[in-house]
Amino acid sequence: MPGSEGKFDFAIDRGGTFTDVFAQCPGGAERVLKLLSHDPQHYRDAPTEGIRRILEQETGRVFPREEPLDPSLIGWIRMGTTVATNALLERQGARSALLVTRGFKDLLHIGTQARPLLFDLEVRMPELLYDEVIEVDERVVLKQDGCQLPPRDTESTHIGSTGEAVSVWRSVDLVQVEADLRGVLSRGITSLAVLLLHSYTWSVHEEAVGALAERLGFQQVSLSSRVMPMVRAVPRGLTAAADAYLTPRITEYLQGFTEGFRGGLEGVRVLFMQSDGGLTPMAQFSGARAVLSGPAGGVVGYAMTSYSQEDGQPIIGFDMGGTSTDVSRFGGQFEHVLEATTAGVPLQAPQLDINTVAAGGGSRLFYRSGMFVVGPESAGAHPGPACYRKGGPLTVTDANLALGRLLPSFFPHVFGPGEDEPLCREESLRQLSALTARINAGQPQSGATGGMSVEEVAMGFIRVANEAMCRPIRALTQAKGHDTSRHVLACFGGAGGQHACAIARALGMKTVLIHKYSGVLSAYGLALADVVEEAQEPCACRYETQSFARLDERIEQLTQRCMDALRKHGFSSAQVSCEVFLHLRYDRTDCALMVSARGYPSSAQSCHAGDFRSAFMDRYLKEFGFTIPERPIVVDDIRVRGCGRSGVTTQNMTPNKQGPPRVTTVTQCYFDSGYLDTNVYLLEDLSYDHNITGPALIIDKNSTVLVEPGCEAELTAGGAVRLSVGSGAPWALDTRLDSVQLSIFSHRFMSIAEQMGRVLQRTSISTNIKERLDFSCAVFGPDGGLVSNAPHIPVHLGAMQETVQYQLRALGASLREGDVILSNHPSAGGSHLPDLTVITPVFRPGVAGPVFFVASRGHHADIGGVTPGSMPPHSTSLRQEGAVFTSFRLVTGGQFQEEAVTAALMAPAQYPGCSGTRNLQDNLSDLRAQVAANRRGSQLVGELIDSYGLEVVQAYMGYIQSNAELAVRDMLKEFARRHRQQTGYLQVQAEDHMDDGTPIRLCVQIDEQEGSAVFDFGGTGPEVWGNCNAPRAITLSALIYCLRCMVGQDIPLNQGCLAPVSVLLPPGSILHPSPEAAVVGGNVLTSQRVVDVILRAFGVCAASQVSGGRTRPYGLNGNPSAFAHLSLLNLEFCAFPSPAIHRSHVFSEPAPMGALTSHPSLPASNLLTLSINLSGGEPGAPGLNLLRRADGRVINLGAKTSVNLEPGDVFCLHTPGGGGCGEEEGGESGGPRATQQRDPRPFLERGSLYDYRTAQESV
């Protein structure tokens, strides 16, 4: 690795707990150092201290801590830092203000309504990053042909950078802006974020405001059009706000860092790692691109050291730390995402797709309702695991220590109150013994003689942790059409080496690579990284011949900009390479891919930069399983990534030592077969000709690698440990309950449902399923009972079970292998007609009937009926709402019945005023995608049965259902006890009303001894003349959702949740309507009222929708910015096809939309009645739909209507407020969650998998 001649070069990763330092010394020697990131008693700054220590040790000179270091000894410094990430997590950024287009002051506060935790009743929105909001009197809109609004006197038209025409309705009032900004400065705020609508294409107003702010003395001005010029105002604005919030903190840190050197590091090349995996000069390091600065170094490290260009085998990066695990993929190119959420803030900037999950060495161990649970809670750095001697809880680290897989004698003595003691294995064993006793007392049915041993319990937690970490790896690979087993696992981080063999074996991988610097790989990756300069601008043209000249021109200009910037950093033209990306999507879809033309040379039918059409279609086919050849391709953005090759390469070879590997000691490690003698080797004693057979431990200064039985280890020429993973001994399992296997099977069943969902999303074509993710997938037992439902759509949670069980009753023994059933009728367990459920029975040789069922339910945008979209506001009968399927054989003998299903989808046209489906091809494509998802689920169920046997899999299916039942019974018992003590009764009741006055009444009678309850909806109003009727499946979905929320812990979603309860629904009521009743509104409106009534009866929280009623201090109060079960569309993107202009988006005021010409249908609820309140809290305000006619009239539209809008009309939507929650007498609520302890700062996942899940749960 060549460095700066005669000087020291440093690559430093400043993490949250430890700072890792890699140094190349004059002469080529390498040094590695790890120290605490915060140790104010000994040093002010960890990176500076690391440099000082190495300089002292290597030169023999003394460098006093109180004096600045001599930079003349240093060639370059490269750093990754968590300063920005920590400031965002802890909300410790700079005070800032947001300047936004008038009418949109609450736009970023309201956000997209994505919910990080679906079942958390206390929806906690992310804290705002800015202190003040200034509204700017300006407005720019996209110019639309055929606009009938009267022109404004001052209106002017301009062409934006995307080629789109914009109309300036109102120029920016800089005089007023200056007065407002001076007021902000007077209050001590010197950082400003600017978000003006449509500035991504026409930034003149933002530029003018930015220039004014800089002239007035603002130290940081972040314009959304500069930070990330992409369409979609909310993520662009949040990114600008994060940049204004974080950059001053980064600047402060950099100033402090440079003060530790004489002359402020003059003459030293200082580079910082950005979130995209590229280095940038210190002066250009900014907040919005810094949040993954630390983890990005690790990705670069394993990519550059583990990937082989010769065989092209892709790599999975597995970085297991103390609190969490980072998972990523490298297949020859870095995988980037353009938007991801960190600490609750969506950031729109190029960043490596690093997925963080709550499983690390510090993840806590629990035994809950008969299951082994690992995380997501973490012991953190303080107090840390139990073995740290600071009173910490049991963790994964303690389990490894108890099993002999960590040896205290090889760890530094830095633990205990004085930070001078070794790890304490005795404390780990003491706490594990106490937990083992509790586990054995709670499982008398296990049949195990004497119960589980301490080692068996510790091993069980390790196996559960491993399975939890396998799930995101499967999801990351299979979501993009890759086979997980064909990857190499690159393991790094302090804790990863202890789990590498088990993780690889579970995923079917044969090889694990662990670099010699795996404990400090993020720092080492910094030394290998390139300097990166990126340029990006929006575009709005089709990828077609007429656009190629313009695309080539823009690509050339962006390329030149990157080349010039890298030359200024000292790179020659030979050291610089540029790669062009186009952000492409099919017309009329929102599923864009950032595509490179690498490997696709230009042709006569492409632009000069490459054949992007072929590259896009090949990638689309790979990820989604199909293409749409006849549909135009749209270019959303042009991006050029320039790389300045650093010249730093890996060269060090491992010396060849004579003789067999030296065994340092022999210890006892526990494995599935018991304690085994395990050789211990020091990495520094090994050479590349040594082979080590497991079990063994390989230890270096920063990590421990466990070589499990059946695996072999060897050293590569570069010093990395290569593990060859054997299949391992088959796990002997019978039908008796094993608590460890219960947890593992729960993960496996849930993984099957998740993988089905990924296949459905990949292979579907409609916006609803592919992009809005409006679908659910589930696995069912032979009785049709729900086994596992990925937590997709709340209203689907319990409904599909009703559908499957109906088919069993209706079709029974006539089901054959190769059959697939389609159903949507409310009487057959359907929710509403657009939700089409596809059911596949799973058969096994020698078994007469189905052994399992898999099913997928997807919302189809149109299936016919009286109005487009199949959501008519005024339907009065089921036939008006579209095509009806009760037990339709969609596939027979493996043949898709296209002709028959087409006829059925067109059948509504026979009814007066109705039409058949208006999107037949989308319907057929999505139905095929649902069949494909079920096929994948059936395959995975088959593989599970092949591994364990049918009897075992079905037995654990029952145990998982019983586990969910136990959790619900425990909750009901605890609620009954508390409620009886407070009131003397075991009965609760509640009532709410629909907007037409129809009552929904509930009386719950609870059996405290059994933990059961009868939910009696007697007294509920009759079936209504309209479509707010809710079939039985809807009430069951609402109930299972509420029970899961009230349990307050992660339990499987299955029929066991409903086993302790009986539901009484009066026939002929709005909750049990006749078979031909209209139900489309009941799915989305009545379902919410049912949820409100159940939660009110239990005293858990007040009514939903936008929360707003004023409340007393206690309990789950209203949140003024949180919607219930609703996501919001992007107002800038909606401006493209919509004939309407969004006028404002605020709290406590109308949100008007100025119409050009439109015919909206408005299903809404809680508009005429006050939202229910609790315990003396005040009711929320009702909602209101107003129409302001162009002639000045104001009309109340009521709750549901369909109305023609004329040019100049304004529609105003006032969302209802949520009821408030007061304090019961005695100061305590009887609600099930009243005493539940809440983590004030819960673990926050990150990455594309997290964003995918929250997007789906927000549908």
The answer to whether residue 1166 scores a pLDDT higher than 60 is no
pLDDT score of 419: 74
Alpha-carbon Rg for the chain in angstroms: 31
Mean pLDDT of 552-580: 89
pLDDT score of 1177: 57
Cα 915 to Cα 858, 870, 920, 1160: the distances in Å are 21, 10, 12, 19
pLDDT score of 214: 94
DSSP 78: E
Name which of 85, 183, 201, 56 is nearest 131 in CA terms.
183
Higher-confidence residue: 479 or 333?
A: 333
pLDDT score of 645: 84
Strand order in the sheet with 156-159: 139-142, 165-170, 156-159
Residue 731: CB partners within 8 Å, gap ≥ 6? Answer: 672, 948
Going through 410-564 in order, the beta strands assigned E by DSSP cover 488-492, 511-514, 531-542
Mean pLDDT of 1073-1093: 89
pLDDT score of 436: 93
pLDDT confidence of 548, banded at 50, 70, 90?
very high
Most confident of 352-366, 789-803, 1021-1035, 1116-1130: 1021-1035
Higher-confidence residue: 1040 or 376?
A: 1040
Name the least confident of 152-156, 1059-1063, 1192-1196. Answer: 152-156
Q: Which residues pair with 1158 in a beta bridge?
A: 1205
pLDDT confidence of 1170, banded at 50, 70, 90?
very low
| Tens digit of each residue's pLDDT (9 = 90 or more) over 206-220 | 999 999 999 999 999
The answer to whether residue 745 scores a pLDDT higher than 60 is yes
Mean pLDDT of 1110-1118: 39
**How does strand 531-542 pair with strand 576-586?**
unpaired
pLDDT score of 1180: 66
Give the whole-angstrom CA distance, residue 733 versus residue 447: 13
What whole-number percentage of the chain has pLDDT above 90? 33
Q: Which residues pair with 368 in a beta bridge?
A: 371
The answer to whether residue 1065 scores a pLDDT higher than 70 is yes
DSSP string, 807-874: HHHHHGGG--TT-EEEE--GGGT-SSTTEEEEEEEE--TT-SS-SEEEEEEEE-S---BSSTTS--TT
Q: Do residues 51 and 116 lie in contact, with contact meaning Cβ atoms separated by under 8 Å?
A: no
pLDDT score of 1234: 38
**Which residue bears the tokens 């290569």?**
722
| Tens digit of each residue's pLDDT (9 = 90 or more) over 943-972 | 889 888 899 999 988 888 888 888 899 899
Name which of 223, 214, 353, 203 is nearest 288 in CA terms.
223
Cα 863 to Cα 258, 284, 318, 678, 833: the distances in Å are 65, 53, 45, 64, 8
pLDDT confidence of 133, banded at 50, 70, 90?
very high
What whole-number percentage of the chain has pLDDT above 70? 85
The answer to whether residue 1218 scores a pLDDT higher than 80 is no
**How does strand 74-81 pair with strand 340-342?**
unpaired
pLDDT score of 1227: 42
Mean pLDDT of 197-201: 90
Give the whole-angstrom CA distance, residue 204 versus residue 210: 10
3-state DSSP of 1047-1112: HCCCCCCCHHHHCCEEEECCCCECCCCCCCCCCHHHHHHHHHHHHHHHHHHCCCCCCCCCCCCCCC
Residue 290: CB partners within 8 Å, gap ≥ 6? Answer: 81, 83, 84, 85, 246, 250, 272, 274, 275
Residue 404 tokens, joined = 């002999």
| Tens digit of each residue's pLDDT (9 = 90 or more) over 926-949 | 998 899 899 889 988 998 898 888
> Does residue 87 come out as left (phi exceeding 0), alpha (psi in the -120 to 50 range) or beta?
alpha
Mean pLDDT of 329-348: 83
Q: How many CB atoms are closer than 10 A to CB 812?
A: 9
First to last CA, the chain: 51
**Which residue bears the tokens 């007035």?**
216
> For the whole model, what pTM was predicted?
0.79
Mean pLDDT of 449-471: 86
pLDDT confidence of 1114, banded at 50, 70, 90?
very low
Give the whole-angstrom CA distance, residue 952 versus residue 744: 13
| Tens digit of each residue's pLDDT (9 = 90 or more) over 865-918 | 998 887 888 899 999 999 999 999 999 988 889 899 999 999 999 999 999 999
Q: Is 736 helix (H, G, I), strand (E, B) or coil?
A: coil
| Tens digit of each residue's pLDDT (9 = 90 or more) over 981-1019 | 888 888 999 998 988 889 999 999 999 999 999 999 999
3-state DSSP of 207-254: HHHHHHHHHHCCCEEEEHHHHCCCCCHHHHHHHHHHHHHHHHHHHHHH
Residue 714: CB partners within 8 Å, gap ≥ 6? Answer: 688, 690, 691, 692, 721, 722, 724
- Supply the angle between the helices 454-478 and 500-507 in degrees, to the nearest 10: 50
Mean pLDDT of 267-283: 89
pLDDT score of 174: 93
**Mean pLDDT for all residues in the chain:** 83
Mean pLDDT of 329-334: 87
pLDDT score of 3: 52
The answer to whether residue 570 scores a pLDDT higher than 50 is yes
- CA atoms in the 13 A half-sphere facing the CB of 537: 19
Is cis: bond before 1137, omega within 30 of 0? Answer: no
Q: Is 377 helix (H, G, I), strand (E, B) or coil?
A: strand
pLDDT confidence of 1255, banded at 50, 70, 90?
low
**Which residue bears the tokens 């104010």?**
40
pLDDT confidence of 1090, banded at 50, 70, 90?
very high
Is cis: bond before 346, omega within 30 of 0? Answer: no
Evaluated on CA atoms 790, 796, 797, 803, the torsion sign reads: negative
pLDDT score of 117: 66
Cα 705 to Cα 115, 519, 671, 793: the distances in Å are 38, 11, 15, 41
Name which of 328, 329, 324 is nearest 465 in CA terms.
324
Q: Is 1114 helix (H, G, I), strand (E, B) or coil?
A: coil
Q: Do residues 863 and 855 lie in contact, with contact meaning Cβ atoms separated by under 8 Å?
A: no
Cα 677 to Cα 665, 695, 697, 1094: the distances in Å are 10, 8, 11, 58
pLDDT score of 383: 83
Name the least confident of 97-106, 568-577, 1152-1161. Answer: 1152-1161
Is cis: bond before 417, omega within 30 of 0? Answer: no
Name which of 142, 54, 34 is nearest 701 in CA terms.
34
Mean pLDDT of 1024-1050: 88
Give the whole-angstrom CA distance, residue 50 versus residue 32: 10
Residue 118 tokens, joined = 């679906």
pLDDT confidence of 1150, banded at 50, 70, 90?
very low
**How does strand 315-320 pair with strand 279-281?**
unpaired
Q: Do residues 572 and 587 lie in contact, with contact meaning Cβ atoms separated by under 8 Å?
A: no
